[in-house]
Amino acid sequence: MSVVALVPAAGRGERLGYGMPKALVPVDGVPLLVRAVRGLLDSGCVQHVVIAAPPSDVDVVRDIVKTVTAPSAPAGGAVHVVAGGAERSDSVRLALTHALREMPDATIVLVHDAARAFTPPAVVKAVVDAVAAGHPAVIPVLPLADTVKQVDDGGVVVATPDRASLRIVQTPQGFDAAVLLRAHRSGLHATDDAGLVERLGVPVVTVPGHQDAMKITTKFDLAVAEAILTGTGGAP
C-alpha cells in the first residue's frame, strides 16, 4: 500500500490580502505550505507528496520545499511540484494526473489544502487508516457550534436545518485512488473532492477532524494560527 498526498496550493489568497500566494505566507518564518507538507509526512503514513503550485511560482515552491527535511522527509519517496490550475478542482486534477503517472503503485490518495497548514498528523493518520480499512472515501469533520439558517435571495430565513446532522468538512480527504480518478473524470463539479465522489454514489464516511485543521482564509484565521503555534490558542 502506497499513499500519495496531493496538496492544492495554487490559490492567490485574495481574502488573506497578504500580497503573495497564501501557501507562501510565512507563520513564524515557515510558509504555510511547508507546515502543511510536514504535517502530512509527520503522520508517518504518507510516502509521496504532489504540490499544485501557483503557475507563476513553481520554481519558488520547488526551492521552498527543499526545506522539508528529516524526520519529515519520506524514506524512498519524494515531494513533487506541478503547476496548479485556475480553480482548486483544476489544481487537484493536475496533481492527480501527475501522481498516477509517476507513482502507479499509489493505492490511496489524500487531498489536503495547503491552507490547512496546522492539521495534526493524527488526523492524517486517522483518514489513511480508514481508507486502508476498506472505505473508498473518508473525510475529517467537526460538528457545528452555531445554529444554521437557510435564507432566500433577499436574506429572509426560509428554514432552520437540524444541525445535529450537519458537519463542517476539513482536509485531508482520503480516497481509493481509482475512485478519485473516476470522480475527477466525471465532469461533475463540487467544492470538495468528497462532493464529487458522493455524486458517483460512492459512500463517504467521516472521522473526527480537529479545530487546528481550520482553513486559513482571512487575517483573523492567520492570527488564530499564530496563537496555535505559540501555544496561546488551539485545542488540546
Ligand X SMILES: C[C@](O)(CO)[C@H](O)COP(=O)(O)O
Applying CB under 6 A, the residues found at the interface with ligand CTP are 8-16, 22-23, 52, 84-88, 91, 113-115, 215, 217
89 binds, among ligand X, ligand CTP, none (CB under 5 to 8 A by kind): none
Nearer to ligand X among residue 66 and residue 163 (C-beta): 163
Handedness of CA 8, 67, 121, 178 (dihedral sign): positive
Give how far the C-alpha of residue 20 lies from the chain's centroid of Cα atoms, to the nearest Å.
Answer: 19
State which residue, 81 or 135, has the beta carbon closest to ligand CTP: 81
- Cα 76 from Cα 88, distance rounded (Å): 28
**17: three-class secondary structure by DSSP:** coil
> Do 228 and 212 touch, CB atoms closer than 8 A?
yes
**Sequence letter at residue 154:** G
- Which CB sits closer to ligand X, 73 or 142? 142
Contact at 8 Å (CB) between 188 and 162?
A: no
Q: Beta partners for 83?
A: 53
Residue 119 found at the interface with ligand X (CB under 6 A): no
Nearer to ligand CTP (CB atom), residue 47 or residue 119: 119
> Using CB distances below 5 to 8 A depending on partner kind, what does residue 15 bind out of ligand CTP, ligand X, none?
ligand CTP
In the complex, minimum distance from the CB of residue 66 to ligand X, in angstroms, rounded to a whole number: 26
Contact residue for ligand X among 61, 103, 113, 131 (CB under 6 A): 113
**How long a stretch of residues is the chain?**
236
Query: CB-based contacts of 139: which residues, under 8 Å, 6+ apart?
Result: 127, 169, 170, 171, 173, 174, 192, 194, 204, 205, 206, 207
**Tally of CB atoms within 10 A around 14:** 9
Q: Which residue, 10 or 138, has its beta carbon nearer to ligand CTP?
A: 10
Nearer to ligand X, 75 or 86 (CB): 86
Kindly state whether residue 169 participates in binding ligand X, applying the rule CB under 6 A.
yes
C-alpha cell at 24: 507562501
* From the list ligand CTP, ligand X, none, partner contacted by residue 169 (C-beta under 5 to 8 A by kind): ligand X
Interatomic CA distance for residues 23 and 99, integer angstroms = 20
Residue 226 sits at the vertex; the CA angle it makes with 111 and 113, to the nearest 5 degrees, is 10
Give the shortest CB-121-to-ligand CTP separation in angstroms: 18
Min dist. Cβ of residue 202 to ligand X (A): 17
- Shortest reach from residue 192's CB to ligand X, in Å: 4
The entry of ligand CTP, ligand X, none near residue 91 (CB within 5 to 8 angstroms by kind) is ligand CTP
Binding site for ligand X (CB under 6 A): 88, 113, 169-171, 191-192, 215
